[in-house]
Structure 1
Amino acid sequence: MHSKMNILTAVLMLGAAALPAHAQGWKDDYAIVKFGVLSNENEKDRLMRYEPLRAYLEGSLGVKVEIFSAGNYDGVVQAIAADQIEIARLGSSSYAAAYTATNGGVVPTLVDLSKDGSTGYNSIVVARCDSGIKSLADAKGKVHAFADPDSTSGYAVPYFNFITKLNIKPEQYFAAIPFAGSHEAGVAGVANGTFSTASTSQRTDTNGTYQDMVQKGMIEKGVICPIWKSPEITNGPWTFRTNLPKDMIEDITVALEKLPEAEPETFKLYVSFDADDPNPVVGFTRVDAERYQWIVDMRDWLKKRRRNSN
């Protein structure tokens, strides 16, 4: 009886000794977590905005966290599809691109939530205020810049709306339709006269790409004016690979949800907080794949259209 008790005690002690390692769960397999961010701003501003968030996640999760960025949107999409990164902060269209590239192997969890309860933004077309271009009709025959082929507001939504809602075929309507490479590059090109108009995004009339560029001193106030606005687009989501452990996805999602209260200044940097914005981003709300299905369908429409035109 005594020897049986010793064996039992030894087994229990071995089990107890193994508990701390087991309790780490997913962290045993993911000592480094990489999250990707899109190239809709210059590298310096992107790092300034995301570095404090990276440090916060590292401290909250107890694992090393690294930022991954690429020269274009597709680089981030391909990185998550190739299992090179675990998470990506994507736009709606680049989420749809990742969803398609992975055959549904990604899942959205969170989007930014604004003070008024909205979870979306708009694609807009901008022109120089002094150009005489006040509408898309005035832009006919001019050079129009899209941002990036995988940008929701900088390409997919305006292109889709031009054709399906406004009966405008960009290839014929404009003199040329180059890709600027990023939202900021498109707006800067309009400001310096390289492009007549450009597609970009804004959250409100006072908060968007060109408004941020004014604030950063990249362009002067009153130079850029919007001439068209799309229907609302759901914010781009924090996106995870579905082949990650479920508790890992949940733990990181919860850490992000806690950010606004845990580190308000880090959150303000992440959302490019502007004290004058009447409708700032105040937190996150949960989303699922169904919310983005129309974007997946829109991308499918765009793909078929490209195939048919070749």
Structure 2
Amino acid sequence: MRSITLVTLAALMAASPALAADWKKDYQVVKIGVLSGENEKDRLARNEPLREHLEKTLGVKVEIFTAGNYDGVIQAIAANQIEAARFGSSSYAAAYTQTNGGVVPTLTTIKKNGNTGYHSIVVTRCDSGIKSLADAKGKVHAFADPDSTSGYAVPYFNFITKEGFKPEEYFAATPFGGSHEADVTGVVNGTFDTASTYQNNDVDGVYQRMVTKGMIDAGVVCKIWESPEITSGPLAFRTNLPAEMIEEITQAFENFPETDPEGYKLYSSFDPKDANPAVGFSRVDTERYQWIVEMRDWIKKQRRGG
């Protein structure tokens, strides 16, 4: 697999400074994919300030691309239908594998304390009587999406390697809910006994945001398991794009929190109760996510072996 680093990008730009503005002639519309972690209406609303910022900064039309599942975004970037996407770590690894290294990560989210990670969690109804994974044995456990890091890859990997059980054998059934919000909704409605989703901390995560948005009531959903920290997923681009285009869009993302602080708060789902909110972006490269690529390969081998 081929890889491309930010050092390579910088070298290419230095070698061809005259091309810096030329990419806009060929890419008058830039399409950026976002994953299906929440419903489409909220995804588009949350990303609108970013879209407006990028459009104004870059001087080209910017469109937000959504799909019904993670694979829709992966397929879109593999087919050159979109230029970039905000991936989770596992969906980035899927895109990297599917394109034979044809995507390059440039940025990930950074928190106030400098942290660049989050956690996979397992949730249940607080009144279900399920207080641990041991209590969940023989129950229906939902994963979010096959290409979700926190909603599938990390919990599946940890269930086998750390908790000592294979999900397909331990639970009565292991369906995919389709998204994180669908997983939580299924738990609330009793369709699933437990489900995998994610949180950044105990006041900021999928089910906490659903409470804030009025989608579910407070005190209905409880966490019963948490993974080790996961590196946040990256903004990644097709490697067949001009290097100066990748760098210029990357810089526009980096400037977003300072240029439009209120817009960034909406984009990052800012919660004033969160003592460690997202504050911006940090540069990353291909090596940062190599362990996720390897973990996905391990999971595929486990499933084939089963």
**TM-score between both structures, scaled by the size of structure 1:** 0.92
Identity among equivalent positions (%) equals 73
Encode CA deviations 1:12-67: one digit per residue, 9 max, x unaligned: xxxxxxxxx97631111111110000011001101110122111101100011111
The SS at the match of 1:116 is: coil
Work out the CA distance in 1 between the residues paired with 2:304 and 2:100: 20
Correspondence for 1:76 among 60, 73, 90:
73
Match of 1:197 among 190, 194, 197: 194
Distance 1:22 1:287 in 2: 24
Partners of 1:39 and 1:163 in 2: how far apart? 26
Q: What residue number does 1:24 align with?
A: 21
User: What is the aligned partner in structure 1 of residue 101 from structure 2?
Assistant: 104
Counterpart check, 1:188 vs 2:185:
yes
- Paired position in structure 1 for 2:288: 291
Alignment of 1:218-297 (within 5 A): 218-297=215-294
Whether contact under 8 Å (2:20, 2:245) holds in the other structure is: no
State the one-letter code of the partner of 2:234: P
Deviation by residue 1:144-195 (Cα, 9 ceiling, x = unmatched): 0000011000000000110111111111100111100100111111111111
CA distance in 1, matches of 2:175, 2:303: 16
Aligned counterpart in structure 1 of residue 157 of structure 2, from 144, 157, 160: 160
SS in 2 for 1:200: strand
Q: Which of the numbers 118, 124, 129 marks the counterpart of 1:132?
A: 129
Higher relative contact order (CA 8 A, sep 6+): 2
Unaligned runs of 5+ in 2: 1-17
**CA drift at 1:308:** 2.6
Aligned structure 1 segments of 4 or more residues deviating by more than 6 angstroms: none
Tell me the distance in 2 between the aligned counterparts of 1:24 and 1:165: 51
Tell me which of 116, 120, 133 is aligned to 1:123: 120
Deviation of 1:221 after TM superposition, in Å, equals: 0.8
Q: Which residue of 2 aligns with 1:13?
A: none
Please say which structure displays the higher CA radius of gyration. 1
Rounded Cα–Cα distance in structure 1 between residues aligned with 2:31 and 2:63: 5
SS in 2 for 1:150: coil
Deviation at 1:265, TM superposition (A): 1.2
Give the Cα separation in 1 of the matches to 2:143 and 2:222. Answer: 16
